Amino acid sequence: MEEVTNELIEGGTVKYVFEGNSLTIDGKYEKVDQNNLLEYSWNWHVTSEPVEDAAYKLSVRFDGSDDASTLSVTQTGFDKEQSIDPHKKGWEQALEQLAEFVSNGQNNQSSNNNGEQKPPVTGYNETPEQQKVGGG
């Protein structure tokens, strides 16, 4: 990732610029409830692939206590049914990586149940000012 902007306030900007500017994701926080809910736009701008730009809305909810939490992500705004599956798989992988990172407390590569190497956990190493959740 080349650039991360994350202003965790209502009306604040969220922006991720990936290597080579091949993908930029940006949006605005619409609702920021530090206790359990983030809602924001999630706009894809793809330059290196024959994929159309797309605008979505994300709702990220946290339910639980100090000892345990459940994180749920809802993404809306799909204009084509076939667009849902790749996003679903991406969120499932990201949430699995987050669970592994939180459980292990480290960012190392591991293997799945089939012995295949899984990619390293990425996207969760921002500075406190850039954290996606909790605001530092």
- Please state the rounded mean pLDDT for residues 11-40: 92
| Number of domains, the chain | 1
pLDDT tens digits along 38-95: 999 999 888 776 667 789 999 999 998 888 889 999 999 998 888 888 889 989 999 9
Flag whether the pTM goes above 0.75.
no
Q: What is the pLDDT of residue 96?
A: 94
Range of the domain at 120: 3-130
Q: Is residue 135 part of a domain?
A: no
CATH of the domain at 67: 3.30.530.20
CB atoms within 10 A of CB 29: 19
Query: Closest Cα partner for 61 from 37, 41, 31, 88?
Result: 37
Question: How far apart are the C-alpha atoms of 15 and 77, rounded to whole Å?
Answer: 18
